[in-house]
Amino acid sequence: MTLSDSFATLRPFIDEATATSLAHLLARAGTSDRSEEFSRAVLASVSGGKRFRALMAHVGYALSSGTSVEEVSLPHLSAALELYQASALVHDDIIDKADERRGMPTPHRRLANYHTAQSWIGSSTDFGQHGAILVGDFLFSAATAAADEQALTLREDCARAFSRRFADMHAEVALGQYLDITAEQTPLDPERTDALSTSDSLEVALHKSAHYSVVHPALLGAICGASSFDRVADLLDVLETILTPWGLAFQLRDDDLGVFGDPAVTGKPAGDDLREGKRTALLALTWEASSPAERRALTDVLGVAEASPEQIATATDIVERNGRAAHEAEIARLVADGHAALEATTFDEDARAMLRELCSLLTARRA
């Protein structure tokens, strides 16, 4: 069975575990008719998605325990990772002022619309943002509750390592998010080639996405599959060396899709990353290779919510012409780095084949 087939088999179980964990917390929290729209926003936030993080955990567990991926059962960790992902996205969408994700209104937009429909007093925008912050907080509470349930199933040494890594994952995302919003506040001088830094963009991608999307989930799964922490410590180091460049490539592929992806497939409006002013490696490479006039056209769009479709199209053409090839080369370099690390390991051929397929799933995707 291929890894893709295993993922397809596991997906319903991951969905069920996530929904069950969330439903239990909603019930324990004491929701009522007055909080019905809040509950709906919470539940809508976990619908859809690729479930990459839970699937990464299954891969880590399989490598650690010596079982096949489809035989792994990780309901608590699967739920914890997907609920944390949902929490992070809710807050990310508030920061980015994004109105749509996965083809549906984001929680802050959904709650703002609800405020308007009820003809309540006050600002619908404020209500939507404030309510969505709380939706994200609730989802994070659900994630930590599920992670605690997982830790209770582990030996003390593994439980300690598991809880620390889960906390480190959350802290690192917060740091990466801060670096991201700081970068977006930096003025852009079209006359300066070095106004954007590819290395700075990669640092943000590492902390905000690569580690928490790929590396931490796999390592958390590996810890859960180990009989003791001493027996898994070396494996964690090896996996981190392999998966870190692939995690970066995963994020760079996401950045490419944020500009060039089909909205019908990605669930986000075309050019959304440009309107949000994301300082990605794709943008930094484009900026370095562009003329002052082209950079001025980019600044007319970056972080400008009112940018017209024509301006977005112009900026997209500049990125396509000046940055996309170099960006693809960077993705290829990162993929090769991970493969080189993989070839230096003592993994058997089955494990190598699984990890090679995993790399392709992470970095060659179109959604």
Whole-model pTM above 0.75?
Answer: yes
Q: Which helix (H) or strand (E) holds 4?
A: helix 3-29
pLDDT, position 366:
73
Segments in the chain below pLDDT 70: 265-268, 270, 367
- DSSP for 246-296 reads HHHHHHHHHHHHHHHS-HHHHSS-TTHHHHTT---HHHHHHHHHS-HHHHH
Same CATH fold assignment for domains 1-153 and 190-366: yes
Residue 266 has a pLDDT of 67
Mapped onto helix, strand or coil, the DSSP state of residue 101 is strand
Interatomic CA distance for residues 261 and 255, integer angstroms: 9
Query: What pLDDT is attached to residue 48?
Result: 84
Alpha-carbon gap, residue 220 to 77, rounded angstroms: 8
* Confidence (pLDDT) at 49: 84
pLDDT at 161: 97
Q: What is the CATH architecture assignment of 1-153?
A: Orthogonal Bundle (1.10)
**CATH ID of 190-366, from 3.20.20.140, 3.30.930.10, 1.10.600.10, 3.30.1540.10:** 1.10.600.10
Domain spans, the chain? 1-153, 190-366
pLDDT of residue 367: 64
